[in-house]
């Protein structure tokens, strides 16, 4: 295979670091960028890393930054995005950026739709995908209607999660009773539009994800699924301990859905299996590389490299067979989740230890690139200590 094109990665979280490490194994030259705080934690020795303008507040500056970068490189680089902010930026500026970079995205209208929780649920329902009971509150009448039909506990979720988390570092807010709902709704609504949603019962291992890579003609190139074991924070968070697991019944739900909405490029959908009726309920879609994508490589389907090969016209063969039982572990988050669950007597040290057995891929820990792991671990532990003593 030829690796004449370099790669540009926008994101230095564990997601972006995973992209860097996958490409570096192939000898591909990599440039990686993020805003200052993320750069300081995630910069990797395997790529040329630096700070870039903020995609939310410095869009024009970031556009010029990338144009100048591409011109200095010469041959069009492959452009990877590891966060919603960057994928929205690339999509919004795709006409200009496509002159300087190679990338594949679905239509901009679809990206906006799936990243908006309200529109995403409406889209899922339109295509007969089961969803949790969800209430959009735009006025007092909507609020009263939600109250009349809700069971407690429930959750508050931001409509635009990536923007909400710039102010409040929470994926969702647990609501235990009506008094808390009224108080918290007033508190959090100033940070963005909210939805009220029922809680689907069941442990973390009721969460599943299906990931796909469709080419520009909507031909399926790669298919992968996984199951969550633990998430961080323990109540509502992102994956901390994941396992590769083929889930054919979810393929039957997702593939027709993705093809109908034309989710070309990289896409991922999350579901939770409702133990009350055995039905998979839709949670969200990401039109980009997702946090745990580095699990795909040891599971036999290298999404990151396939994307590179396709965009450089090297005709990769479609891959649908995956190795099951491979674990993905975000070590510090797994440890902090264990501490939370141990307090509630939901997890023992033996359970924690058993989580390391078998074939595994670490989110950040790597002997040949240790600093992202060390810096991220220190940052997480300091934040946990601050939260404890608040």
Over residues 251-263, the mean pLDDT reads: 98
Q: For the domain with range 133-198, which CATH number is right: 3.40.630.30, 3.30.1330.100, 3.30.1490.20, 3.30.2000.20?
A: 3.30.1490.20
User: What is the spatial distance between Cα 113 and Cα 91, in angstroms, rounded to a whole number?
Assistant: 13
pLDDT digits (tens, 9 = 90+) for 363-384: 999 999 999 999 999 999 999 9
What pLDDT is attached to residue 173? 84
List strands edge to edge, sheet with 360-362: 280-286, 265-273, 207-214, 220-232, 238-244, 327-329, 360-362
Confidence of residue 163 (pLDDT cuts 50, 70, 90): low
Same fold, 7-103 and 204-388: no
- List, as one string, the DSSP characters of 59-108: HHHHHHHHHHHHHHH-SPPEEEE-SHHHHHHHHHTHHHHTTT-B-----H
Choice between 161 and 356, residue whose per-residue pLDDT is larger: 356
pLDDT value, residue 47:
99
CATH class of the domain defined by 7-103: alpha beta
Domains of the chain, by residue range, sit at 7-103, 133-198, 204-388
**Sheet strand arrangement including 78-81:** 48-51, 30-34, 7-10, 78-81
Q: What is the pLDDT of residues 233-247, one digit of tens each?
A: 877 788 999 999 999
**Would the pLDDT of 129 be above 90?**
yes
Confidence band (pLDDT; 50, 70, 90) for 25?
Answer: very high
- With 90 as the cut, is the pLDDT of residue 386 above it? no
Q: Residue 27 in contact with residue 3, Cβ under 8 Å?
A: yes
Segment 58-87 mean pLDDT: 97
Q: What average pLDDT does the structure give for the chain?
A: 93
pLDDT value of position 98: 98
CATH architecture of the region 204-388: 2-Layer Sandwich (3.30)
pLDDT above 60 (res 165): no
pLDDT of residue 137: 77
């Amino acid at each position: 295979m030829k690796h004449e094109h370099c790669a540009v990665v926008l994101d230095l979280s564990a997601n972006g670091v995973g992209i860097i490490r996958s490409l570096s194994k192939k000898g591909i030259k990599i440039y990686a960028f993020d805003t200052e705080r993320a750069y300081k934690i995630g910069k990797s020795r395997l790529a040329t890393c630096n700070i870039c303008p903020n995609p939310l507040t410095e869009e024009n500056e970031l556009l010029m930054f990338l144009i100048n970068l591409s011109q200095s490189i010469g041959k069009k680089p492959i452009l990877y995005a590891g966060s919603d902010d960057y994928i929205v930026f690339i999509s919004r500026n795709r006409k200009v950026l496509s002159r300087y970079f190679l990338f594949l995205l679905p239509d901009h209208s679809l990206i906006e739709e799936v990243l908006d929780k309200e529109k995403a649920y409406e889209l899922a329902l339109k295509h007969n995908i089961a969803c949790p009971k969800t209430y959009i509150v735009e006025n007092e009448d909507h609020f009263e209607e939600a109250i009349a039909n809700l069971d407690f506990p429930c959750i508050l979720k931001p409509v635009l999660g990536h923007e909400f988390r710039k102010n409040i570092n929470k994926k969702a807010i647990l609501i235990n009773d009506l008094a808390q709902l009224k108080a918290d709704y007033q508190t959090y609504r100033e940070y963005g539009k909210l939805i009220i949603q029922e809680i689907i019962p069941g442990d973390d291992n009721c969460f599943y994800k299906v990931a796909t890579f469709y080419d520009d003609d909507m031909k399926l190139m790669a298919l992968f699924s996984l199951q969550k074991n633990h998430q961080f924070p323990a109540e509502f968070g992102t994956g901390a301990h994941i396992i590769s697991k083929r889930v054919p019944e979810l393929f039957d739900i997702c593939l027709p859905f993705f093809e109908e909405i034309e989710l070309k490029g990289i896409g991922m959908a999350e579901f939770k299996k409702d133990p009350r009726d055995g039905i998979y309920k839709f949670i969200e879609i990401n039109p980009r590389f997702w946090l745990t994508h580095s699990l795909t490589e040891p599971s036999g389907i290298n999404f990151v490299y396939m994307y590179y090969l396709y965009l450089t016209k090297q005709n990769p063969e479609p891959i649908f067979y995956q190795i099951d039982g491979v674990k993905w572990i975000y070590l510090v988050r797994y440890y902090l989740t264990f501490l939370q669950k141990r307090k509630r007597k939901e997890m023992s040290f033996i359970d924690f230890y058993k989580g390391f057995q078998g074939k595994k891929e670490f989110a950040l820990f790597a002997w040949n690139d240790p600093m992202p792991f060390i810096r991220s671990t220190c940052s997480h532990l300091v934040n946990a200590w601050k939260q404890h003593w608040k």
